[in-house]
């Protein structure tokens, strides 16, 4: 009851770092599904649906400890596509001069939530990589995805004509 199977038939504890890592990837995918239940522009919708499919590949990659098995692995091309998305969406935005807080529109807040889950997944993948051999592109993919989700959150606010929530330091509020 406290174990689960990996690809290849190996059974591990449900508290294993590998299970935590791909469990968090599944959570990212769920949050993206919630974002997609909102009306978002076609370019964002198309990209998030593509990412959802890639997250299934990422989960499969993490659930397969056999590094000789090359199917369903995160690739450099997937990472480069995320970077293209970051660059394209950043072109719509003014450079940041302040830290911002998660908030604004509901969809933007959810994108920030997805970003934080992605950071947690990245941390789990790093922890796993310190103990076992994994595809190092998984970590890079999650790192770039969290940056893309931050930019998407800002774009969602801008397109909704809602300002980002500016962080105010303690000294600013006194």
pLDDT of residue 61: 96
Taking only the tens place, the pLDDT of each residue in 136-148 is 999 999 999 999 9
Q: What pTM, to 2 d.p., does this model score?
A: 0.92
* pLDDT value, residue 126: 97
Strand-pair partners of 146: none
Structural domains of the chain sorted by starting position, each given as residue range(s) with its CATH number in brackets: 16-161 (1.20.1200.10)
Greater confidence, 39 or 96?
39
pLDDT at 95: 87
The pLDDT value given to residue 44: 98
Q: What is the pLDDT of residues 34-88, one digit of tens each?
A: 999 999 999 999 999 999 999 999 999 999 988 888 889 999 999 999 999 999 9
**Which pLDDT value is given to residue 36?**
97
């Amino acid at each position: 009851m406290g174990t689960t199977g990996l690809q290849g038939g190996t059974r591990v504890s449900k508290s294993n770092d590998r299970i935590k890592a791909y469990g968090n990837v599944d959570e990212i995918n769920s949050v993206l599904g919630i974002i997609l239940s909102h009306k978002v522009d076609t370019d964002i919708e198309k990209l998030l649906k593509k990412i959802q499919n890639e997250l299934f590949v990422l989960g499969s990659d993490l659930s397969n400890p056999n590094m000789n098995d090359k199917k369903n692995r995160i690739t450099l091309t997937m990472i480069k596509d995320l970077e293209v998305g970051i660059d394209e969406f950043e072109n719509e935005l003014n450079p940041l001069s302040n830290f911002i807080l998660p908030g604004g529109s509901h969809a933007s807040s959810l994108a920030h939530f997805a970003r934080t889950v992605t950071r947690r997944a990245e941390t789990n993948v790093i922890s796993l990589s310190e103990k076992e051999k994994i595809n190092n592109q998984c970590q890079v993919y999650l790192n770039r995805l969290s940056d893309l989700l931050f930019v998407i959150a800002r774009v969602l606010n801008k397109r909704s004509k809602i300002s980002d929530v500016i962080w105010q330091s303690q000294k600013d509020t006194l």
